[in-house]
Amino acid sequence: MQVYDSAAKQLPVITPLKGVWEKRSLLRLLVARDLTVRYKRSVIGIWWSLLNPLFTTAVMFYVFNTVFKARLPDGQAFLPYLLSGVLCMTLFNQGLTMAADSIASGAGVLTKVHVRPEIFAFSATISSAINFLFGLIPLTVVLLIFGKHPGWKTPLLLVFMACMTLLTTGLGLLLAIAYVNFDDSRSLINIFLLALQYMTPVFYPITALGPHTQKVIHLNPLTSYLQVFRDVYGGNAVATIHEWLMMGFTSIFVFVLGFYIFGRSWPKVVAKL
Amino acid sequence: MSNDLIVEGTDITLAYRRTRHRVSSLKQTAIDTINRRIAYENFYALNGVSFTVARGETLAVIGRNGAGKSTLLKVLARVLPPTSGRVIVRGSVAPMIELGAGFNPELTGAENIMLYGTLLGRDSKTMQTRIEAIADWAQLTEHLDIPIRAYSSGMVARLAFATATDVTPDLLLIDEVLSVGDEDFQARSKARTAEMINSGCAVVLVTHDLNTVQSMATRALYLDHGTMRATGKPQDVIDAYHADLR
């Protein structure tokens, strides 16, 4: 028999994680719900969700390739480099904002039914990751057009996706606290996301920057995620061991931090929902 | 013997600090912080509420709007953790609080039954086997495979009610006795609620309808501004409530 004791000791991070694991069948249903709703049982839905990254890529390609005549070193093709950058940033932005939204807009459920809110954040980031997989279809086409192929490192894509899921879940939980407390935090975060996008080498090669700017760009953890993604899928960049470590460390650190802070503030957050 | 107590609430208190002007934007918070104008006050949604509910008992919670009745139900439903005091709930809980929270209009009836049932804490494998019976009881078998955005509001309410009442829990939480759908369904849903209440589980019932309290409750609790004003036999508590209203 299950017993709820409000005075039972709650371990930070561990107790919420156990709760999520015990409810993994709910997690599966939530992910299925997200995907069914997004694709509405049609192929058009899949293309519809790709419209945003593809259109962004088209605009950026025109601006930077045709207007500014940007060139990558060693005559590397610009389009696969750019598209992989846009897909990576879309995964990050979408996972982060959807995770935060899932909690802020989940008030209807979260204030009536006992369910760990972290499950909602997870379902959002996992469905963004699946969405990202669909984005690999046009990227693969572009790679093949430019005479490249995904490469033998492709299985390592799973490591990249796992790290990105941990990162966006942790950050999304932190952002959810802001979303619930401050109505205007949504518009502010968009400015930060835009700044972050420019600080990540999405449409420029790092080597084109001065030594000081390069240091700043390397301090941005997302740079390492993007470099790893480009390395493992299509070989559009070479990720250093330092970048792999940066990705692994920041994902786990942010995830644990997000779970810790969110778990501690949840009683106050739920009262405000 | 003490294990027959499904709910043990000891000194349940739910207090939070809130800003006096209910600031909810960063901009306003920044301005107020600079001007040192943020005034906090402690708000007690519940203050030292103690009670027990044994198997077979029906506790009615009465009080004016904003007295903390629904908050108390949410504490029992494990949605709001008490800031001090202690709540122990033994066994499964069925919260009948605003049924259908979590329904998604784009999903079919069957998918919503699965999702809602699992959200309510039921095993998803068992839920799979219950879909047909639930739809049958809600008289929605023919509409099971269409998205519920095509349902009428009565149909959605029937689906929610049927899913929520599909199991007999150890503790049933009711926020106003529900009557949904058309006349025929209202009668059936009332009968089913009564059946659940009489099935021997513990019930906590929040209501404004004092007739319901007299006919259904074995005990009552009167809340006022989060504090317990009276508890005991339904009639005595109703009398105390009436005395205060005058």
- Coil, strand or helix: which one is B40? strand
The complex scores an ipTM of 0.86
Residues near A68 by beta carbon (within 8 Å), at least 6 away in sequence: none
**Judging by DSSP bridges, how do beta strands B58-62 and B219-224 pair with one another?**
parallel
3-state SS of B19-73 is ECCCCCCHHHHHHHHHCCCCCEEEEEEEEEEEEEEECCCEEEEECCCCCCHHHHH
Q: Which among A3, A113, A182 has the least Cβ separation from residue B24?
A: A182
- Tell which wins on pLDDT, A47 or A23: A23
What pTM, to 2 d.p., does this model score?
A: 0.90
In this prediction, residues A166-184 reach a mean pLDDT of 93
CB A114 within 8 A of CB A26: no
Give residue A261's Cα distance to chain centre: 20
How large is the C-alpha radius of gyration of chain B? 20
Residue type, A60: M
B53: closest CA among B168, B202, B196, B170?
A: B202
Backbone angles phi, psi at A205, to 5 degrees: -80, 145
Enter the DSSP assignment of B43.
E
Backbone angles phi, psi at A5, to 5 degrees: -125, 115
In this prediction, residues A65-75 reach a mean pLDDT of 77
Contacts A5 to B, Cβ<8 Å: 86-88
Contacts B120 to A, Cβ<8 Å: 113
Q: Which among B45, B74, B88 has the least Cβ separation from residue A111?
A: B74
Using one digit for the tens of pLDDT, what is the confidence trace for A223-250? 999 999 999 998 888 889 999 999 999 9
pLDDT for position B1: 43
Q: How many CB pairs under 8 A join A and B?
A: 104
Using one digit for the tens of pLDDT, what is the confidence trace for A105-158? 888 889 888 889 999 999 999 999 999 999 999 999 999 999 888 888 999 999
Q: Which among A111, A114, A184 has the least Cβ separation from residue B26?
A: A184
CB B186 within 8 A of CB B179: yes
Alpha helix (H) residue ranges in chain B: 26-34, 69-76, 109-119, 124-137, 153-164, 183-197, 210-216, 234-245
User: Average pLDDT over chain A, rounded to whole?
Assistant: 90
Confidence of residue A12 (pLDDT cuts 50, 70, 90): confident
Contacts B170 to A, Cβ<8 Å: 1
Using one digit for the tens of pLDDT, what is the confidence trace for B11-53? 999 988 776 666 677 887 788 778 776 677 788 899 999 999 9
Residues from B contacting A (CB-CB < 8 Å) are 14, 16, 24-27, 29, 45, 74-75, 77-83, 85-93, 95, 97-98, 101-102, 104, 106-107, 111, 114-115, 118-121, 123-125, 170
Backbone angles phi, psi at A22, to 5 degrees: -65, -25
> Which residues of chain B are under the pLDDT cut of 50?
1-2
Is A185 within 8 Å of B26 when comparing Cβ atoms?
yes
Confidence of residue A49 (pLDDT cuts 50, 70, 90): confident
Is A113 within 8 Å of B119 when comparing Cβ atoms?
yes
Is B79 within 8 Å of A270 when comparing Cβ atoms?
yes
* Residues B230, B237: Cα–Cα separation, whole Å: 6
